[in-house]
Structure 1
Amino acid sequence: MDVRTERKRLLEAEDEDENLSGLLLEQDAYLSKVRNKNLYLATFASVLGPLSFGFVLGYSSPVIPQLTHNSDPRLLLDNDQASWFGSIVTVGAAVGGLLGGWMVEKIGRKLSLMFCSLPFVFGFTIIIAAQNVWMLYVGRLVTGLASGVTSLVVPLYISEMAHERVRGTLGSCVQLMVVLGIMGAYLAGLFIDWRWLAICCSVPPSLMMVCMCFMPETPRFLLSQGKRREAEEALRFLRGLDAPIQLECARIEDASEEQGSRFQIADLKDPGVYKPLVIGFMLMVFQQMTGINAIMFYAQNIFEQAHFKVNTSDLASVIVGVIQVIFTGVAVLIMDRAGRKVLLIISGVSMAISTTAFGIYFYLISRQHIPTSSSHAMLAASEAAHTDLAWLALASMAVFITGFALGWGPVPWLIMSEIFPIKVRGFASAVCVLTNWSMAFVVTKTFQYMMNFLTSAGTFWMFACMCVANVIFTIAFIPETKGKTLEQIEATFRGTSGP
């Protein structure tokens, strides 16, 4: 009896292997006929949203120094007002995440993208016309709302359009465009004042509105709405005339029918729903707890302590921005080769090492603190010691930014767009975006309290512990999604074989 059972099990395993091999051959044959030109065009149109989002994030850095030394008393910011001017974007973005989750289910991915260009332009228009500090706040809040919608919709739009061979590369372009927007705001802020910078920041969302008019809705959303003919037309546009798009259309349709049509709270008991939701939630928490905001906060001081000839904080920010762009670009190029999980592990280890080194740097600096009554000779000795340690801070910053850009910057947003079943994609993505922006606000506003309570060294060592925790979490719980269709990824969480 045992022999028969074992033989049956082996035969079933062989059949499963044959089915998998056949499926892979079928996918390779299909993808060999796919042409990506229009897919790239649609991706370009959609990532003008993250570019706009990057301009929003980068806008405050060059503008706050101008507004804190403003000749117009109605628009003069004190330190507390400047803090709110920078951080209120995260409040709007958290609300935008919830709004975006509702919009993508009700009106679709394409129309959500087109509509979110309006608050971008409207918000910057309010800033351009600002006559008091409250108008500045409202403008920032509205552009933050648009940023929250964009950070949810664009990854979904790209992941649902792209096929498995290029989905990682195209999905990583979201973060690349964000850091390009940040760097663009930093660079433009070196040469133009805050009103003209706001005008420049209005250009990308305006272009997005125009370009998206000519792009299709995602085939998966159309099929979820029962629009088979429109879905085939969208796939034909995205894959080229020679691709047998009926195969892909049927596969998506089968997966949608298997899941059911509408999300209900009872679905949270389904491992195919709650497992990816927990993973997405934790990815967003860990991304903000890596210490990225702290590193950016200290960038100017680190450059100054290293005695770089930096005349303004903006130039230091530009240098940091360039590093981010370069290594995010590297992540885009290798994402579909290296895989998501490997990049997250390498990134987490790099950041754990660099934040530990930052803690050592601040600990050694604090041990060399000289009282105010010290002699000039002792002060000079302390300054020399600070200079000798500056290399440690600079090296730590470079390693941290490189590591973050390679993994924990782009990958959480990419994985968020890949792991959720289509019927819960709007709800689950909204939870993740709300979590990310809420954590960003909490970390930003409590950072100074942490510095006072834990000291600078203790704060960075806490971030190092979080980076170690995110490496352990990645190894234990995050599946590799490289080279898999969205339907195969969903099947992984359900514990079944994918279509």
Structure 2
Amino acid sequence: MASVLVLGATKRVVHWTIDCRPGAVIVTAACCLGPLACGFSFAFSLGKISTGLPTTHTYLSPAWNAYAFVIGSVVGGFFSGVVINHGRKVAFWFGIIPFSLSWTVAIFATQVWTCLLFHATAGIGAGLLTVITQVYVAEVSHPRVRGAISSTPFLAYCIGMLLCFSMAEVMARKHLAVLGFCLCFPYFLSLILCIPESPRFLIRNKPDEALVTLQWLRGTESDVSEEYHDISDSCEQEKWRFSCEDLIRPTFWRPMMVSTGLMVLFGMTGIVSFALYGFELFHDVTDTYINTDKFVLTSVYIIATTVSLLLVDHIGRKLLLLLSLTIMAASAFVLGLFLFLKDLHSVRNYFLYQWVAEIFCVLLFIFSHGIGLGPIAWVTMGEIFGSKLKWLSVSVVSAIFWSSLLAADALNHVIQRDVSTGGVFWFHCVTCVGGYIFVLVVFRELKEHRLDDITKCFTRKHDSLIETFIARV
């Protein structure tokens, strides 16, 4: 058994060495500077940072900042597909310019409305950049390592959040805003020097340049003729135009159902509720550092996402999703049960049980979400849609994702007010179970599939849902 595991690991390392060419690595690293800055701005809206505003404006809370950012992200995500249709590199500029300019508003903000304006504008830029980066990275990566490469923007987003929480301990709000503005400059340089246009966009009008770019991404010694012809044939068949009839074809609504379902599960399974409850638990225990709660939870999430990055192309997306949802459901059920017993005064010596049960359940849920559902939902969005309707699909899915986070937060408050805190987590447990069935029946394994092959698999004739469920169980 040990020899088999060593052989499998060695084979995976060899594949990574062959497929992760310097060109693709450089492009991916350069692209991740955008999500890094976006994560920093999102954490800036969440962190406990001195506002620097007059005392008459002390009512401004991080919740309003976060709402403004998420609403802006809904708008940016919705229009991201329209921008993508004009070129991936052009879309990057559309996102980074307003995003970077928004930091100047944060630096010189003296009124509440200017702070909210910054967070909303930064949210629009972040909504654009996150979607564009995910689509671009999926298009330029090799199929055998596409899962890992496509997970790096999500990981960079989380690292940006951790950087902001860390710097907030030693920097005032204005200085932190200056740092956020400075993070945009490396991305500007990478757009100019390191990031070429996507071959899938160039193939329409500049086929020779598309071939040169694809060859550079795969390495000079690699044979890219087959991949180039697949891309060319796909674009020739689709013509980059669509009619209303295309919206009812399986090539649109089936991948749309899969990606939308994962994005809704991202928020509705409880990541917002667990994070908020984790903040409360850490706040009750320690107040030495203002962002200890966010630092710990984000660190756990980064570790989990790193593990997911290493495993996603080895064991597949579907198995990671099922494992993630199983652990999440168990964590939500146990935490809900513990809070139910606490409300009935059946748990004594509460402080001891708090760390044994509640903190463990919260951290376990955060880890399981980061190892599966979190990154894979974004990876799937970048790779599952065909080029013809990709611009429309990613716009809708991104807007639904950010909207689901707002809905999850509102639902959390309603259930907590009308039922109980334990009822919130039992609701998320039921959602995780429903998500498990959804993934088991609907989700298709996309590991090592070419993007064009993924599109073709949705055109085949399928059995009924009942027959599919029985076969996949």
Superposed pair shares fold, TM > 0.5: yes
Q: Are residues 35 and 360 of structure 1, via their aligned partners in 2, closer, same or farther at CA, if it must alter by over 3 Å? A: closer
Q: Which amino acid aligns with 2:134?
A: P
User: Would the alpha carbon gap of residues 269 and 300 (structure 1) be closer, same or farther in structure 2, given more than 3 Å must change?
Assistant: closer
Counterpart residue number, 1:491:
456
CA shift in 2, pair 1:448/1:163, >3 Å: same
| C-alpha spacing 1:445/1:232, structure 2 compared with 1 (3 Å) | same
Please list the CA deviations of residues 423-482 of structure 1 after superposition, one character each: whole Å capped at 9, or x if unmatched: 111110000000001111222244322210121011110011001111110010000000
Which SS does the other structure have where 1:291 is aligned?
A: helix
Structure of higher CA gyration radius: 1
1:348 paired residue number: 325
Structure 1 distance, partners of 2:65, 2:256, is 32
Match of 2:94?
115
Matches of 1:227 and 1:147, distance apart in 2: 29
Q: 1:357 corresponds to which residue? A: 334
Counterpart residue identity of residue 98, structure 1: F
> Closer, same or farther in 2 for the Cα pair 1:35/1:368, shift >3 Å?
closer
Counterparts of 2:107 and 2:114, CA distance in 1: 9
Q: 2:447 aligns with which of 473, 482, 489?
A: 482
Partner of 2:185: 206
How do 1:216-235 residues align onto structure 2 when only pairs under 5 Å count?
216-223=196-203, 225-235=204-214
TM-superposed CA distance for 1:56, in Å, is: 1.6
Q: Hey, what does 2:43 align to over in structure 1?
A: 58
Partner of 2:162: 183
- Please show how residues 278-297 of structure 1 align to structure 2 within 5 Å: 278-297=257-276
Q: Equivalent of 2:59, from 62, 77, 80?
A: 77
- Contact 1:49-1:205 within 8 A present in 2 as well: yes
In 2, Cα distance between equivalents of 1:462 and 1:74: 40
Matched-pair contact (CA < 8 Å) for 2:20–2:142: no
Contact 2:78 2:396 in 1 (8 A): yes
Q: Do the aligned residues in 2 keep the contact of 1:328 with 1:410 (CA within 8 Å)?
A: yes
Q: CA deviation at 1:244?
A: 2.2
- By how many angstroms is 1:279 displaced? 1.1
Paired residue for 2:308? 331
> Alpha-carbon deviations, 1:32-79, whole Å to 9, x = none?
976610111001111111111111221123345x23xx672254234x
Give the match's secondary structure for 1:213. Answer: helix
Tell whether the 8 Å contact from 1:74 to 1:133 is kept in structure 2 after alignment. Answer: no
CA contact (8 A) 1:416 1:429 kept: yes
CA contact (8 A) 1:173 1:332 kept: yes
CA distance in 2, matches of 1:34, 1:407: 23
Deviation at 1:390, TM superposition (A): 3.1
Matched, 1:439 2:404: yes
Give how far 1:230 is off.
Answer: 1.4
Q: Deviations over 1:90-121 (max 9, x none)?
A: 1000000122110001x211121133111221
Distance 1:74 1:478 in 2: 52
Q: Distance in 2 between matches of 1:259 and 1:455?
A: 52
- In 2, Cα distance between the equivalents of 1:409 and 1:71? 35
Query: Residues of 1 paired with 2:172 and 2:69: CA distance?
Result: 20
Structure 2 CA distance for aligned equivalents of residues 417 and 404 of structure 1: 19
Inter-CA distance 243–71: structure 2 relative to 1 (3 Å threshold): closer
In 2, Cα distance between equivalents of 1:268 and 1:324 = 36
1:71, 1:495 → 2: CA distance? 60
* 1:406 paired to 2:371: yes
Query: How many residues are treated as equivalent by the alignment?
Result: 446
- The 5 A counterparts of 1:143-158 are 143-158=122-137
Report the counterpart of residue 255 of structure 1 in structure 2: 234
Indicate the residue corresponding to 2:23 in structure 1. Answer: 38
Distance 1:386 1:367, change over 3 A: farther
Which ranges in structure 2 are unaligned for 5 or more consecutive residues?
A: 1-14, 462-473
Given the superposition, is the C-alpha separation of residues 183 and 129 from structure 1 closer, same or farther in structure 2, using an over 3 Å criterion?
same
Q: 1:232 to 1:31 in 2, by over 3 A?
A: farther
Go from structure 1 to structure 2 and tell me whether the alpha carbon gap of 1:283 and 1:447 turns closer, same or farther (over 3 Å shift).
same
Q: CA RMSD in A?
A: 2.0
Question: TM-score, with normalisation over the residues of structure 1?
Answer: 0.85
From the superposition, tell whether residues 248 and 71 of structure 1 become closer, same or farther in structure 2 (CA, over 3 Å): closer
Matches of 2:226 and 2:160 in 1, distance apart?
A: 38
Instruction: Describe how 1:244-323 pairs up with structure 2 within 5 A.
Output: 244-304=223-283, 307=285, 309-323=286-300
* 1:397 corresponds to 2:362: yes
